[in-house]
């Protein structure tokens, strides 16, 4: 950035008129000083507080003049009137002389604000600026650097009726009684809605919590309870031990009628699972998993878990999957509760993975925290990656490796659009921060870490991340801190790749984290010579968007002549490598451990197709899955003809491994889904018939039981459900027979868990079957059964609002329901963004889920017309809307290019 100030006009982040912002390197020559690590700030236009006075701070990020050291927090929720009040006493460390304390508070009444200074207690003037959720506290004299002060604030607010802040949740007992509880969800910017605080991750402090409650409830928080004091009026006050130094978003407390089960780990940590009383018998599996995984991480990271306890709480209303609050992780009920008789193999896998994810965060995220949300991937990419590392060792029977590749494919789906973003990207306002919780931060983050681990060797990688965690415990980090810790150990593995210069991990990884997208490596074999070139893979018809991207790519390859994995670091646009001898075929990106696609130019794809048709097990199942994904994705950008991709897919009639089979479905099913939305019945049925025929042998071999490994069981559920949905006669006949037996037993007959979805899909096709299933849903207390019986009721009475997005997207997948889902999304848009929050992953999932199968100009115009009518406050700037436009345009291009070919193929079948 240049030294001189450049002042330009921009919209304010929250849409409130025009601001001027200045960008400069030093800040001293600007009208306002700037703080480190943020290069934009607002000047000239003075913000006005709610009382009409000028607000003394004009930036969204808080000043670095005052830091909190310790919060004494008393909270009193009233579960009858659904509001809460409290007192916060915050000890402050003044780092520069200042006459203003700026902190966060959102939608609450703040009163009786006092400064406790060495010279006595005095009131503070309070100014509010709701647009940035900020309060400015002004003393009558300057606060002096190096001196300690304390502020006292009293506050009150309603319990939120969304899923964030301090919010209301409820559940219905078997007898029909509705019970209310209050729980917290503070990530990313919602602690400020529960108490006044410095609500940014770099403002770490210690917290001492007290909670006032009625005797019929219990309270839990991050730390163990020290004592309970009786208050006048029959109330109780629970006092909790002081937390370690941590960010505000990790604070948590729950007031409820939950009960718990507990065990102690080998390292002496007390683990408890909390749930509503009638579901506590579904917690045994989660308790075992949490004990096993916390012990694993304790050893793996070589850093003892720093708290005396770890609670896991199943919350009846919960928007995301789970939350890593330090010492009190919170979960959806489906993410924690498991019934061995009624839960499926994929339920078990999902529960174990989510617990592994949240417990990994106790080190990655909680102990060492990103400095700002632009590096969220340091938390989420690592936790996603550690799910697979930890389960591979602690639960080998879950075969978690069979599912990792799917995460990389999901990330590439988003990352192949020009509206993608770098893993580490500038964010400022709460909506932009929320948008960071996406497949790029989680799944791409995990996939590039997996690539780096393969590159450095697992041993060197583990030494490096332990060094990183130890070096930055209780601190905040940026990308480069991680790369430095890993570069220190890279000498252990240099010879594996090339001799010569010291390996610079940062130089390599900056190309993966600081630019969006990923590379397509084109490989052309000519005799012993292999010509390599790289470009950005991008679904666009604008070639200018592809230019200027260059990655340092850790290439791996094997050939028909040798199963040895060869390695080569591609740093340039083009390069050449030489094979020791001529070969029949070469496969790059072995096991797809690298986050890139490969195009085999010349005769390359034909030689790959030959090996798949004649001896597909010469390649691993991950290699086969990556070839399927690569070839169909290359059709989208015109590098490969559709008939070549379909020819490669023919080998799938011999495939049995889950990753390759599900990727086959993942590439082929969307083709007829595009046609379903266009009334092209003949061609659509031909495509459906082709897929059923391809997998018919595998479907026929499935038993209607719960036998086999987790991967075999997950695959069985998938195949039988597909067979039933596609009306494959043997599937329909068996499912009908089983549904009738189950219905005749009034639902008491025990169906094999893995096949229930297939059976219910067929059963729900008749009005009587539908009504019977609906009744069973209403009265089911097994969370896994509820998730398989999700009803299309949108009232929130029968079905939890948290499940609404899944239902809307499911309806949109139905050829008869997609217009209904789109109409519902439009009609309820403002309710949805209030309930689920602007920028959240849930809103993105809804927008993309409902629209990503449209492929006509008419639908694109309709989608643009609706989203174009929104204001910035109601979502017009959301990234998911740009992604939707791009996806529909890509679908239109795909259909324009490939429909004639498909129609021609139809003549020849």
User: Binding site: which residues?
Assistant: 357, 361, 380
Q: Quick count: other Cβ atoms within 10 Å of Cβ 199?
A: 26
Q: Across the strands, what pairs with 178?
A: 172
Tally of residues, the chain: 909
Non-local CB neighbours of 507 within 8 Å, separated by 6+ positions: 552
Give the SS3 label for residue 231.
coil
Q: How far apart are CA 606 and CA 612, in angstroms?
A: 10
Q: Across the strands, what pairs with 120?
A: 117
Q: Which of 187, 200, 324, 358 is catalytic?
A: 358
Q: How far apart are CA 36 and CA 448, in angstroms?
A: 28
Q: Tell how strand 475-477 and strand 368-370 pair up.
A: parallel
Concatenated DSSP letters of 452-498: HHHHH-HHHHHHHHHHHHHHTTTEEE-HHHHHHHHHTTGGGTHHHH-
Output the six-digit token pair for 669. Answer: 């099913």
Q: How far apart are CA 549 and CA 551, in angstroms?
A: 7
Output the six-digit token pair for 459. Answer: 């041993």
- Angle, CA 202 vertex, CA 201 and CA 204 arms, to 5°: 85
Burial of residue 240, with CB atoms counted within 10 A of its CB: 0-12 exposed, 13-18 middle, 19 or more buried: buried
Q: Quick count: other Cβ atoms within 10 Å of Cβ 635?
A: 21
Q: How far apart are CA 115 and CA 134, in angstroms?
A: 18
- Give the annotated binding-site residues for Zn(2+): 357, 361, 380
Q: How far apart are CA 898 and CA 537, in angstroms?
A: 19
Annotate 509-550 with three-state secondary structure.
HHHHHCCCCCEEEEEEEECCEEEEEEEECCCCCCHHHHCCCC
Q: Across the strands, what pairs with 311?
A: 272, 328
Cis peptide before 880 (omega within 30 of 0): no
| Closest C-alpha to 883, from 865, 863, 899 | 863
- Angle, CA 719 vertex, CA 729 and CA 903 arms, to 5°: 70
Cβ–Cβ under 8 Å, residues 400 and 507: no
Q: How far apart are CA 718 and CA 755, in angstroms?
A: 9
Concatenated DSSP letters of 80-118: TTTEEEEEEEEEEEE-S-BS-EEEE--S-EEEEEEEEET
Concatenated DSSP letters of 293-325: HHHHHHHHTTS---SSEEEEEEESS-SSSEE--
DSSP H or E segment with residue 166:
strand 165-172
Q: How far apart are CA 863 and CA 5, in angstroms?
A: 40
Q: How far apart are CA 617 and CA 498, in angstroms?
A: 30
Give the SS3 label for residue 888.
helix
Non-local CB neighbours of 175 within 8 Å, separated by 6+ positions: none
Cβ–Cβ under 8 Å, residues 371 and 477: yes
DSSP H or E segment with residue 272:
strand 270-275
Q: Is 358 a catalytic residue?
A: yes
Q: Residue with structure tokens 């799938």?
A: 652
Q: How far apart are CA 888 and CA 558, in angstroms?
A: 37
Output the six-digit token pair for 306. Answer: 């720093």
| Closest C-alpha to 702, from 688, 727, 719 | 719
Annotate 37-61 with three-state secondary structure.
CCCCEEECCCCECCCCCECCCCCCC
Residues designated catalytic = 358
């Amino acid at each position: 950035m240049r030294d001189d100030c450049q002042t330009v006009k921009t919209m304010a982040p929250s849409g409130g008129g025009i601001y001027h912002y200045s960008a400069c390197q030093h800040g001293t020559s600007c009208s306002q000083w700037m703080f480190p690590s943020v290069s934009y700030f607002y000047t000239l236009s003075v913000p006005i507080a709610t009382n009409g006075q000028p607000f003394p701070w004009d930036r969204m990020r808080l000043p670095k003049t005052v830091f909190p050291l310790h919060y004494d927090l008393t909270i009193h929720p009233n579960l009858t009137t659904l509001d809460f009040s409290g007192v916060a006493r915050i000890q402050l460390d003044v780092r520069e002389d200042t006459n203003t304390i700026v902190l966060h508070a959102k939608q609450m009444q703040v009163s009786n604000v006092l400064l406790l200074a060495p010279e006595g207690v005095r009131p503070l003037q309070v100014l509010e600026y709701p647009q940035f959720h900020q309060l400015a506290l002004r003393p009558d004299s300057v606060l002096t650097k190096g001196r300690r002060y304390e502020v006292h604030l009293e506050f009150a607010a309603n319990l939120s009726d969304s899923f964030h802040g301090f919010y209301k949740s409820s559940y219905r007992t078997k007898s029909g009684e509705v019970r209310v509880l209050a729980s917290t969800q503070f990530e990313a910017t919602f602690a400020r809605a529960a108490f006044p605080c410095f609500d940014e991750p770099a403002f770490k402090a210690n917290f001492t919590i007290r909670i006032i409650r009625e005797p019929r409830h219990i309270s839990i928080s991050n730390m163990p309870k020290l004592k309970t004091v009786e208050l006048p009026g029959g109330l109780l006050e629970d006092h909790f031990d002081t937390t370690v130094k941590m960010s505000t978003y990790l604070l948590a407390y729950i007031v409820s009628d939950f009960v718990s089960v507990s065990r102690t780990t080998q390292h002496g940590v007390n683990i408890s699972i909390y749930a509503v009383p009638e579901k506590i018998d579904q917690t045994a599996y989660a308790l075992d998993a949490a004990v096993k995984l916390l012990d694993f991480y304790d050893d793996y990271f070589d850093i003892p878990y720093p708290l005396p306890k770890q609670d896991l709480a199943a919350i009846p209303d919960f928007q995301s999957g789970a939350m890593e609050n330090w010492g009190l992780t919170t979960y959806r009920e489906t993410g924690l509760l498991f019934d061995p008789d009624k839960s499926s193999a994929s339920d078990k896998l999902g529960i174990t993975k989510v617990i592994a994810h949240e417990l990994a965060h106790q080190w990655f995220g909680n102990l060492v925290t990103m400095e700002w949300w632009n590096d969220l991937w340091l938390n989420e990419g690592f936790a996603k990656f550690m799910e697979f590392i930890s389960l591979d060792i602690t639960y080998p029977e879950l075969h978690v490796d069979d599912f990792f590749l799917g995460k990389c494919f999901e990330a590439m789906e988003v990352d192949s659009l020009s509206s993608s973003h770098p893993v580490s990207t500038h964010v400022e306002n709460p909506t932009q921060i929320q948008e960071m919780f996406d497949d790029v931060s989680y799944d791409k983050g995990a996939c590039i870490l997996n690539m780096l681990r393969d590159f450095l060797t697992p041993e060197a990688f583990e030494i490096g991340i332990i060094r990183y965690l130890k070096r930055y415990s209780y601190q905040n980090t940026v990308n480069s801190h991680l790369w430095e810790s890993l570069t220190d150990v890279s000498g252990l593995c240099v010879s594996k790749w090339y001799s010569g210069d010291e390996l610079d991990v940062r130089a390599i990884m900056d190309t993966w984290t600081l630019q969006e997208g990923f590379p397509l490596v084109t490989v052309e074999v000519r005799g012993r010579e292999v010509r390599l070139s790289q470009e950005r893979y991008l679904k666009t018809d604008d070639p200018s968007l592809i230019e200027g991207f260059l990655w340092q790519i850790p290439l791996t390859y094997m050939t028909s002549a040798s199963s040895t994995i060869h390695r080569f670091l591609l740093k340039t646009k083009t390069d050449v490598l030489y094979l020791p001898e001529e070969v029949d075929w070469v496969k790059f990106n072995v096991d797809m451990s690298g986050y890139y696609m490969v195009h085999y130019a010349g005769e390359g794809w034909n030689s790959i197709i030959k090996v798949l048709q004649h001896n597909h097990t010469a390649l691993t199942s991950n290699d086969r899955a990556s070839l399927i994904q690569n070839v169909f994705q290359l059709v989208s950008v015109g590098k490969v003809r559709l008939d070549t991709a379909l020819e490669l897919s023919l080998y799938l009639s011999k495939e049995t491994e889950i990753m390759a089979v599900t990727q086959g479905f993942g590439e082929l099913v969307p083709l007829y889904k595009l046609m379903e939305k266009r009334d092209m019945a003949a061609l659509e049925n031909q495509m459906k018939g082709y897929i059923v025929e391809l997998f018919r042998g595998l479907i026929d071999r499935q038993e209607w039981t719960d036998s086999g490994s987790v991967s075999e069981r997950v695959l069985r559920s998938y195949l039988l459900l597909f067979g039933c949905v596609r009306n494959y006669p043997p599937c329909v006949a068996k499912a009908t027979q089983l549904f009738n037996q189950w219905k005749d037993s009034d639902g008491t007959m025990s169906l094999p868990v893995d096949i229930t979805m297939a059976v219910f899909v067929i059963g729900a096709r008749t009005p009587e079957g539908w009504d019977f299933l609906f009744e069973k849903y209403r009265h089911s207390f097994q969370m896994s059964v509820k998730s398989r019986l999700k009803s299309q009721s949108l009232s929130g009475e029968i079905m939890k609002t948290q499940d609404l997005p899944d239902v809307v997207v499911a309806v949109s997948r139905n050829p008869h329901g997609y217009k209904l889902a789109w109409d519902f999304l439009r009609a309820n848009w403002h309710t949805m963004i209030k309930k689920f929050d602007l920028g959240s992953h849930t809103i993105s999932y809804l927008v993309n889920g409902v629209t990503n199968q449209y492929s006509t100009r008419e639908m694109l115009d309709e989608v643009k017309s609706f989203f174009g009518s929104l204001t910035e406050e109601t979502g017009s700037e959301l990234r998911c809307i740009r992604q939707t436009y791009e996806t529909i345009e890509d679908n239109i291009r795909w259909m324009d290019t490939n429909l004639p070919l498909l129609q021609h193929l139809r003549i020849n079948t």
